[in-house]
Amino acid sequence: MMMLDSWLFIFIMYIIGNLIFVSKRKHLLIVLLSLEFIVLSIFFFLMIYLNYIENNMYMLMLFLTFSVCEGALGLSILVAMIRTHGNDYFQSFNLL
């Protein structure tokens, strides 16, 4: 019963992260935060799944490394966009 509750909680976290990603698509900072929330829910899923099958946690360290790199890359893009355009709205700059 406890395992089912945690899987349901992780699934709800994932769905909420996707809903925020779709609904708040105009601000880059909110999009990055929702992507990090999705990554966090996937991390929790992997942690519970790997504990369930009694596997080692090396894959979690690799996943955390890549998610930290993704977050740093997103923040650097955010800083560069704010320096050039003055805000983080997507509609304020030309994509072409």
Amino acid at 13: M
Structure tokens at 40: 């966090």
Comparing 69 with 2, the larger pLDDT belongs to 69
Summarised one tens digit per residue, pLDDT across range 41-95 is 999 999 888 888 888 888 889 999 999 999 999 889 888 888 887 777 766 655 5
Q: Give the pLDDT of residue 5.
A: 84
Distance, in Å, from the CA atom of 17 to the CA atom of 71, rounded to the nearest integer, reads: 15
Please give the pLDDT value at position 90: 66
For 2-92, which CATH class? Answer: mainly alpha
Q: How many helices (H) and strands (E) does the chain have?
A: 3, 0
Domain ranges of the chain: 2-92
In this prediction the pTM is: 0.82
**Residue found under tokens 């996937």:** 42
Encoded tokens for 52 = 């369930």
